[in-house]
Structure 1
Amino acid sequence: MRSAIFAAGLAVSITVPAVAKPVTFCHPKDQTARVLASANSPNDIHPDWKGGWVGLDTAVVLTGKKAKGGTRTIGTFLQANIFSTRGGLINERIWILAKEWECEKGDIEFTREGHIANP
């Protein structure tokens, strides 16, 4: 990432490296995976994703928050940030159902703005 600094009429270019962080990231198991607005119900679809299809290459990065569903059949809700295939942040603090997503741990490089550096 490059940013320009103008000091005393001179343009200086500084390269700010991306920062690698260990995270847990997930992708949908199939096309029935949902993006939720809360951990209250598996039917509480996020307003930006109502009637929307979640692509299999969609990536979410978990924030670390969990909530148990009211019954054993619902499962565990996980809070996450969802990113585009180009690495841009789409929605923060969405919820997913753990049983609908495949998750793994790894290092991801993030830009200073919070986007994925090399999607």
Structure 2
Amino acid sequence: MKKSAALPIALICLGAVWFLKSTALLPSTSTLLALLLLIAGVLLGLLDGLNKSTLVSCPLLIYAGVAIYLRDNMGLHLSHLLSLGMVLAGLLMLLSRSDRIPERSARWRSLPDQQDLR
């Protein structure tokens, strides 16, 4: 029986982050958060496809990443970014009510029955 690889992987990740931080190659925390939100929005859209849920959530995740970046690096006011985000969320919610946009796929909504697992 092999031992878990969690500790070596954790050491590698922590060492890499420490190295990048000590050499000033690691971007600031807000930039990393902005990138993670943007990537999450794009990946969610690619993995789940276009449906009523992703039509709202993917652009909002991407907007949140862009807003964090703009707030941190360009100095835009938080009230401007939040109000624009509210308008975007409302528009996307109205657009998702269209009958042309499919519902969320059944494979993500339901878990397999207990009998299917036997």
Tell me if TM exceeds 0.5: no
TM (norm. structure 2) is 0.20
Q: Which has the higher helix share?
A: 2
Instruction: Compare relative contact order (CA 8 Å, sep 6+) and give the higher one, 1 or 2.
Output: 1
TM (norm. structure 1) is 0.20
